[in-house]
Amino acid sequence: MTPSSSGQSGAIPVDYVRFCAPILLLWFPNGAESTDPKREKGNEILSEMGNSATAARRPKKARLMQGNLAIAEGALAAGLGFFASYPITPANEIANFLSRALPKRGAIFIQMEDEIASLAAVIGASVGGLKAATATSGPGFSLMQENIGYAAAAEIPCVIIDVQRAGPSTGRPGSPAQGDVMQARWGTHGDHPIIVLCPGSVQEAYELTIHAFNLSEQYRTPVILLSDEVLARMWESVELPLAQVEVLGRLHPEVPPEWYFPYDDALGDVPPLVSFGQGYRYHVTGLFHDKSGFPTERLDEIDTWQQRLFGKIEGKVEQIARIEEEEMEDAEIAIIAYGSTARSARHAMKLAREENRAVGLLRLVTLWPFHDKAIERVASSVKRIIVAEMNRGQILLEVERVAKGRANVVGVNRADGAMVTPAQIMAALEVER
């Protein structure tokens, strides 16, 4: 990387070097004249790190950035080592950018033959030790569902970015929607745990992408980032580099290979995942498996595995799920929204406050696991909850489930490929039910 480009990329290569460079050095086994090529190449990459570390100390600098690019930059900052995808509107800028940026870091970009192959390659690369991601939109997201289940069951970290567009089917490819909320939760067959994040601004798209990689490593799970077409193509000011970018790498087991079992609850709720090729030979499968990864039909082994699999996420909702409250202290009406719809909701809330009406906003940053307790608190403290979303009421049903009639729950919905407007939400303030 040249010094001129390091400013543009901010703190990015620091974490990339820490987590993916050691594995990617395998790309140059005979690369240098030095007797120890790995050391040689390592030094070269470390000097790049020096450049970017200098960049990181510079004062924060605002950059105008598109939502899709913020996701791509966030992925690089998180240490992205492998990206595979298939072209689809409105996610294309992510792949376009990464196809240029990743090879410069010695990392991998590959355009696969379809979205099924894209996620398959991502999972394979993750088993090989690289932080890996794919990006798509509704139709491609549908194709990925089987392999999302595989990653959840085999507990392989990976990040899936779904830039939602209006559907079903081909729908309106260039128009926003939030119709994939339930698909992100339940799209693959069978019960499984999942983490789904939903950014509401370009800045947050950057930050949540990093967070998505962290969660995927921390909990050994696929993490889905649900963006939407508005956020994807919107340009906003983003402050880079961030003062503190926490990036989590993969844990290495403290036990020797003969004692290592990749699904052993004795190693914790989230046993360390060793990359292939490091002397810890084991088996990965989508079949129900025992602690060693071998298929099993024994109900006691299946029970042990499932308890840990679900417990590691469903038992940690408070730690995982993020929500953001605005003007909720004295609110009598709460608007619940997420993604770009939360922007309309915030505007409606401000208009209502100007009229001295006690309206607050609860923004869901994490959609799944669903933060039941936060919704319970709101339902107990307000008279009415308005759930605004660009679908026909997917989160609305969850809010009703948790509210249990404690508050009057009203949906503001549309699924025609247009944004929910502040006026629509304002109108719902008047509705009595």
Cβ of residue 37: shortest distance to another protein, in angstroms? 12
* Burial (Cβ within 10 Å: 0-12, 13-18, ≥19) of residue 338: buried
3-state class (DSSP) for residue 145: helix
Distance CA 4, CA 387 (A): 46
Binding status of residue 125 toward another protein by CB under 8 A: yes
Report the residue from 14, 49, 80, 122 that binds another protein according to the rule CB under 8 A: 122
- Write out the binding residues for another protein, residues 20-39 only, by CB under 8 A: 23, 26-29
Binding status of residue 58 toward another protein by CB under 8 A: no
Binding status of residue 110 toward another protein by CB under 8 A: yes
Report the residue from 37, 173, 272, 286 that binds another protein according to the rule CB under 8 A: 286
Binding status of residue 77 toward another protein by CB under 8 A: no
Binding status of residue 285 toward another protein by CB under 8 A: yes
2-39 exposure pattern, b = at least 16 Cβ within 10 A, e = fewer: eeeebbebbbbbbbbbebbbebbbeeeeeeeeeeeeee
Report the residue from 43, 277, 380, 383 that binds another protein according to the rule CB under 8 A: 277
Binding status of residue 132 toward another protein by CB under 8 A: yes
Binding status of residue 114 toward another protein by CB under 8 A: yes
**Pair of tokens at residue 6:** 């390091």
Count of residues that bind another protein according to CB under 8 A: 58
Residue range at the interface with another protein (CB under 8 A); choices 121-129, 177-185, 244-252, 367-375:
121-129
Cβ closer to another protein: 284 or 321? Answer: 284
Binding status of residue 282 toward another protein by CB under 8 A: yes
Report the residue from 34, 54, 170, 278 that binds another protein according to the rule CB under 8 A: 278
Determine phi and psi for 353, rounding to 5 degrees. Answer: -65, -35
- Write out the binding residues for another protein, residues 1-20 only, by CB under 8 A: 1-2, 4-5, 8-9
Determine phi and psi for 123, rounding to 5 degrees. Answer: -65, -40
Binding status of residue 126 toward another protein by CB under 8 A: yes
Distance CA 207, CA 213 (A): 10
DSSP string for 52-68? HHHHHHSPPEEEEEEHH
**Pair of tokens at residue 107:** 């990392």
- Write out the binding residues for another protein, residues 79-108 only, by CB under 8 A: 81-82, 84, 97, 100-101, 103-104, 106, 108
Cβ closer to another protein: 186 or 282? Answer: 282
Cβ of residue 397: shortest distance to another protein, in angstroms? 30
Binding status of residue 65 toward another protein by CB under 8 A: no
Angle between helices 67-77 and 92-104 (to 10 degrees): 30
Cβ of residue 67: shortest distance to another protein, in angstroms? 17
Are the CB atoms for 152 and 222 separated by under 8 Å?
yes
Cβ closer to another protein: 112 or 251? Answer: 112
Cβ of residue 306: shortest distance to another protein, in angstroms? 19
Report the residue from 50, 174, 268, 295 that binds another protein according to the rule CB under 8 A: 295
Residue 281: count other Cβ atoms within 10 Å of its Cβ.
10
Report the residue from 89, 275, 381, 421 that binds another protein according to the rule CB under 8 A: 275
Residues 6+ apart with CB under 8 A from 333: 352, 357, 358, 359, 360, 382, 383, 384, 385, 386, 429
Are the CB atoms for 358 and 381 separated by under 8 Å?
no
Residues 6+ apart with CB under 8 A from 269: 308, 311, 312, 315
Cβ of residue 363: shortest distance to another protein, in angstroms? 31
Report the residue from 112, 323, 351, 358 that binds another protein according to the rule CB under 8 A: 112
Of 198, 201, 203, nearest to 242 by C-alpha is 203
Cα 228–chain centre separation = 13
Cis peptide bond upstream of 199, omega within 30: no
Cβ of residue 234: shortest distance to another protein, in angstroms? 20
3-state class (DSSP) for residue 345: helix
- Write out the binding residues for another protein, residues 133-162 only, by CB under 8 A: 146-147, 150
Binding status of residue 276 toward another protein by CB under 8 A: yes
Determine phi and psi for 59, rounding to 5 degrees. Answer: -60, 155
Cβ of residue 104: shortest distance to another protein, in angstroms? 5
Residue range at the interface with another protein (CB under 8 A); choices 113-121, 214-222, 248-256, 349-357:
113-121
Are the CB atoms for 369 and 320 separated by under 8 Å?
yes
Binding status of residue 113 toward another protein by CB under 8 A: yes
Binding site for another protein (CB under 8 A): 1-2, 4-5, 8-9, 23, 26-29, 81-82, 84, 97, 100-101, 103-104, 106, 108, 110, 112-114, 116-118, 120-130, 132, 146-147, 150, 275-279, 281-287, 292, 294-295
